[in-house]
Amino acid sequence: MNFNVVNRELLVGDVSITGVSSSSLFLIGDANYISLSSTFDTPAESLIIGPYVPLSLS
């Protein structure tokens, strides 16, 4: 496979972003290899209804 890329004029006006969050990338430029991963855990057992018990103390 031969992959040819020709970059011609790239002109952007205004960019407005509210948030860049949880392993994300806002890039103005070139890159070779990008690997972004994010895990977010809120299972049912994360909602604890009961007496006040602190998390394990370190």
Partner 1 sequence: MLSRTSSVNYIEINSLSASSFCQIGDSTEIHLLNKALADRRQYPFFYGREGNFDDYAIFNEPIPHGDYEPIPVQTWNEIPLIRVNRIDIKGCSFSSVIHVGSTCNVYAEARIKHIRELINDEPSKEAEAGTSSSASSQASSSE
CB of 44 to partner 1, least distance (A): 11
- Dihedral of CA atoms 38, 40, 41, 42 in degrees, nearest 10, equals -170
Site for partner 1 in 32-51 (CB under 8 A): 32-42, 46-51
17 binds partner 1 (CB under 8 A): yes
CB of 45 to partner 1, least distance (A): 9
Of 38, 42, 18, 13, the C-alpha closest to 28 is 13
Structure tokens at 36: 């972004």
Residues near partner 1 (CB under 8 A): 1-42, 46-58
